[in-house]
Chain A
Amino acid sequence: DAGITQSPRHKVTETGTPVTLRCHQTENHRYMYWYRQDPGHGLRLIHYSYGVKDTDKGEVSDGYSVSRSKTEDFLLTLESATSSQTSVYFCAISEMPNVLTFGAGSRLTVL
């Protein structure tokens, strides 16, 4: 999607390894979010940020940490990946309440 880029788009890793997903925006939006999407569970919020260095937990934050040192970048880190974290991860940004623009997604497979 224009203005929001996720990397990597695909990653395969092994259990116990650290993984970092990056979300980069060029829209200068204040709010950024990380969701995961799994069959049977829909989209679930992991963490969100409401400004540089300001983050908070979402519905399924266990096992994940985030950092936002610049307006444009929001990083999602899995300190020690587990098979249950195999999922598609979506980043989103917003400036208006509840009008989110989503990235293309990052597909993570943990073996």
Chain B
Amino acid sequence: DAKTTQPPSMDCAEGRAANLPCNHSTISGNEYVYWYRQIHSQGPQYIIHGLKNNETNEMASLIITEDRKSSTLILPHATLRDTAVYYCIVIRDNYGQNFVFGPGTRLSVLP
């Protein structure tokens, strides 16, 4: 499974869009991009995933570049409750056996 690179930390002002980048330059054609987040001391929470098209749900949008070597998770109107560690994971379509959570990006939403 492809390795991902994320910035260790980011800040965002409350009410503004938070754009979290992820590089996955070695991604294969059958690998998906998944995003999870972990709010302090809680279990990780699934946010969104995609293969090559941009995706949007009630939580966030996922923008994948045309060459699929990078992606951006967008939280359109960040709130203080969005402060968390965000994990970008690239993986084939299986059932979590190889789900590896790296260090992620610590997003701090500031008032």
Contact = CB atoms under 8 A, between A and B. Distances in A.
Interface in A55-111: 56, 58, 90, 92, 94, 97-105
B99 A98 contact: yes
Contacts of B93: 97-98
Nearest to A103: B43
B102 interface: yes
Contacts, number: 58
Contact of A45 (B45, B49, B94, B97): B97
A58 B98 CA distance: 8
A59 B19 CA distance: 31
Interface string B17-49: 000000000000000101010000111111001
B46 A97 contact: no
Interface of A: 1, 31, 33, 42-43, 45, 48, 50, 56, 58, 90, 92, 94, 97-105
B contact patch SS: loop
A103 B43 CA distance: 6
7 contacts: A31-B95, A97-B95, A98-B49, A99-B46, A100-B96, A102-B43, A103-B43
Interface residues of B, number: 23
B45 A50 contact: no
B97 A1 contact: no
Contacts of A92: 43, 96
Contact of B94 (A1, A90, A97, A101): A97
Interface in B94-111: 94-97, 99-104
Given A42-B103, A43-B101, A98-B32, A48 B96 contact: yes
B91 interface: yes
A90 B44 CA distance: 9
B34 A42 contact: no
Nearest to A104: B43
A29 B104 CA distance: 27
A42, A58, A94, A101, most chain B CB atoms within 10 A:
A42
